[in-house]
Amino acid sequence: MRAYVPGYQLQTPRSLADALALIGNEPGVWKPFAGGTDLMVLLEAGRLPHRNYLNIWPLSELRGIEVTETHVTLGALTTYTDVQAHEVLRSEFPMLCQAANETGGLAIQNRGTLGGNIVNASPAADSPPALLAYDAEIELVSNRGARWLPYDGFHTGYKQMTMLPDELLSRIRLPRNTASLKHYYRKVGTRKAQAIAKVCIAAIARVENAVMTDVRVALGSVAPIVLRCKQTEDAIRGKALTDDSVNQARETLMREITPIDDVRSTASYRLRVAANLLVHFLLTARS
C-alpha cells in the first residue's frame, strides 16, 4: 500500500545556510531528502516513517568535484553518473567508479548521491566499501561550524552514525595516494545488474618484493555496518604473500565478520564468499 502523500511535508531551502538554520532550530524534525532513490521505495511501499523532509537537491553548495595536488573532494550531492564521468576518479579511484557503475540502473545513477548512500547507512551499500578502502574523510556542517572526520568509524551500528541531528553531510574527501596500488572491487548479487549485494568487497594493496607493504580491506553485507577489516589487514601486512599467509588472512577474516541470514542470502554463503573473494584479491595482488 502506498503512503498517503498529503500526510508528508517537504520544504526546499534557498541555500545551505537556510537548510542548516531549519534543522538547527528543529533538530530531528527535518530529514534531508536528496535524490530520493531509497526514500521513494519506502514511500511506494507505505513504510516511510518520517513525516517532514528537507529537499536539499537544489543546493549548489553541496555539488561539485574539486581536485588539488593532494586530494579529490566531492560534494555530498555528487551522483553516481558524476563519479563515472570524472577523469581523475576513473584514473585514480577506479573502485569508486565501478561501485557507481554497479549501483542500480541509469535512472538511479542519475539521481542517487554519494552522500545519500553514506547517510542511508545500509550495510549493503555499494560505494561505502570503496570509500573505506580509499581512507575517505567526510565533512559534517551545522550552524555551529564544520568538522572533518574519518569515514572509518562514522557508522557505529545498524543505521546509526556519529552525525548529530542538526548536521548535514556536505563533502567527501579522498587522498590522492593511490599511485602503484592494486585495486580490487567485487559485488556479488543475485543478478549482474540492479541487485542488492549479498557480499561486496573493496580492497587495495601495495606489494614490494613479494611483500604486502600496505593493504586495506572493506566489506559490505557481512556485518551491521560496512566494515573495514583491520584484523585481516594486520594478519597480512608486512608479510610475504605465501599460501600460508594468505590462508592465515582468510581464517582471520572469517572470525572478524558477522554475516546473517536474511531474504537475500545466508550467513554461511556470505562467510564463504567473503573468504573466497579475499583469497582471490590476495592471489591477484601476488601475481
Please name which of 95, 100, 136 lies closest in space to residue 117, comparing C-alpha atoms.
Answer: 100
Indicate whether this model's pTM tops 0.75.
yes
* Distance (Å, whole) CA 237 – CA 145: 38
CB 179, CB 198: distance < 8 Å:
no
235-247: pLDDT as tens digits: 999 999 999 999 9
Between 276 and 36, residue with greater pLDDT: 276
128-183: pLDDT as tens digits: 999 999 999 999 999 999 999 999 999 999 999 999 999 999 999 999 999 899 99
Tell whether the model's pLDDT for residue 193 goes beyond 70: no
At residue 2 the predicted structure's pLDDT band, cuts being 50, 70 and 90, is low
Please give the average per-residue pLDDT across 24-49, as a whole number.
Answer: 84
Q: Which residues contact 276 (CB under 8 A, 6 or more apart)?
A: none
Domains and CATH numbers, the chain: 6-55 (3.30.43), 60-175 (3.30.465.10), 182-286 (3.30.390.50)
At residue 20 the predicted structure's pLDDT band, cuts being 50, 70 and 90, is very high
Query: Can you give the pLDDT at residue 1?
Result: 59
54-86: pLDDT as tens digits: 999 999 999 999 999 999 999 999 999 999 999
